[in-house]
Amino acid sequence: MRWGWAVDNAGRIGELAWAHFSLSWPAILASFLLALPIGWFAQRHGWARETIVVFTGLLYVIPSLALFVAMPLMLGTSILSPLNVIVAMTLYGLALQVRATVDAFGTVPGDVRQAAIATGYPAWRRVLAVELPLAGPALLAGIRVVSASTISLVSVGALIGVASLGTLFTEGFQRSFPTQIIVGLVGTVLLAVLLDAALVLLGRLLMPWARRVG
């Protein structure tokens, strides 16, 4: 280990960490938001439930490198475009989060829903003001898994030339320089831990009634 390298290259490492974060958060947010209507719909309609859960689950089977490579064809982007990684990561996020969302809405007690209907909540307000907050803790647990998995997988994008902390892996490999790879590993795990802490904090702020979440 040559820690001096990390100090000398702190600026570059910071830039790569920022690039890594910039690739990750849009995918995490998008999969959370897109999974909400899909998961809610699947939970309410038994016939759609199995199909949707199985279909989104199959997305996770596709190797990430293969998905990155297929993206330009579907999106019309260049192979080096960061958008490939963001959209591919959103699809993986959906594979995990749709299932979590279905289960989360499933935890809303039926009598609470009935009570909301009986007290005259219009459908959209019932969903937003009653079901969503009650499903909140389970949704948060789901998105924390998505966040960890996204941060870890984004690094594979380095193979197709999209810069992230994964770039330290490919450069370190080409130069046979383990220190650089270790810095990338530590940075990736650190980023995942920080993002997880941020999500937990956000959960506490938005759901002060849920003492323990996740």
Partner 1 sequence: MNQISLTWAFLTDADRWPLILSRTLDHLGYTALAVGLSLLIALPLGLWVGHSRRGADVVLSVAGALRALPSLGLLTWLTVSMSVGVRMPLVPSTIVLILLAVPPLLAGIVAGMVAVPRQVVDSARASGYSEGQILSRVEVPLALPVMIGGLRSCVVQVLATATIVAYVGLSGLGRYLIDGLALRDYPQMLAGAVLVTGLALIVDLSLALLQKTLQPQGRVS
Which residues are at the interface with partner 1 (CB under 8 A)? 58, 60-67, 69-70, 72-73, 79, 148-149, 151-153, 155-156, 158-160, 166, 168-170, 172-173, 176-178, 181-182, 184-185, 188-189, 192
CB of 45 to partner 1, least distance (A): 20
Of 194 and 206, CB closest to partner 1: 194
Given the complex with partner 1, which of 48 and 59 has the nearer CB atom? 59
CB of 122 to partner 1, least distance (A): 36
Torsion sign across C-alpha atoms 75, 89, 20, 206:
positive
How many residues are listed for the chain in this entry?
A: 214
Least distance in angstroms from the C-beta of 213 to partner 1? 16
Judged by beta carbon, residue 64 or residue 90, the one nearer partner 1 is: 64
Q: For partner 1, give the closer residue by CB, 61 or 118.
A: 61
Task: Please give the Cα distance from 163 to 186 (Å, whole number).
Answer: 17
Closest distance of CB 170 from partner 1, Å: 7
Specify the residue, 133 or 214, whose C-beta has the smaller distance to partner 1.
214
CB of 132 to partner 1, least distance (A): 27
